[in-house]
Amino acid sequence: MRSIEQTAILLAAILNRSKQTRARVSAKTIKILGRRKHLRRAFVAELTDALAEYYWILFEIDSGGYGAVQTKTLEAAKPVTAKRWLLDEERRDLKRDKTEVWSALEKEATPEEEHADDDE
């Protein structure tokens, strides 16, 4: 088995060679790079941390496998703030710890495809 650091170096190298700022990486590819039969959560968590040293963010995606995003692509992203995107009333309710605000926020936080399931 390769170390986490070696696996991160290999993964960062192939991501950089791809000349893409975002990419999908299969679990199989990570297993091959790390010379592993199984991917353990702890290994992936440490790999994520090690890969960050090479300016890549690694995360699991719903369709299987992992997504990788180069950190520099986020530098020009517009900031998102609570003051701008939460209503004054919502911020007051949250400050007062009113529980009813959470159900509305949870529904809004749920991905759209899950909302479609609710309609059926």
| 11 and 68 share one domain | yes
Q: What pLDDT score does 37 carry?
A: 96
pLDDT of residue 45: 97
77 and 21 Cβ atoms separated by less than 8 Å: no
Q: Rounded to 5 degrees, what are φ and ψ at 70?
A: -75, 130
Mean pLDDT of 14-18: 98
Strand (E) positions, the chain?
Answer: 22-25, 56-60, 66-70
Its domain, for residue 38, covers 4-74
Q: Who has greater pLDDT, 116 or 69?
A: 69
The model's pTM is 0.77
Residues 86 and 70 reside in one and the same domain: no
Q: What is the pLDDT of residues 26-74, one digit of tens each?
A: 999 999 999 999 999 999 999 999 999 999 999 999 989 999 999 999 9
Please give the tally of structural domains in the chain.
Answer: 2
Q: In whole angstroms, give the CA distance from residue 75 to residue 12.
A: 19
C-alpha 57/C-alpha 47 separation (Å) is 10
pLDDT of amino acid 113: 66
* 30/63 same-domain check: yes
Q: Quick one: tokens of 97?
A: 């710890």
Buried b (16+ CB within 10 A) or exposed e, 60-70: eeeeeebebbb
56 lies in the same domain as 23 = yes
List, for residues 87-113, the tens digit of each pLDDT value: 999 999 999 988 888 988 999 999 876
pLDDT of 19 strictly over 90? yes
Same domain, 11 and 70: yes
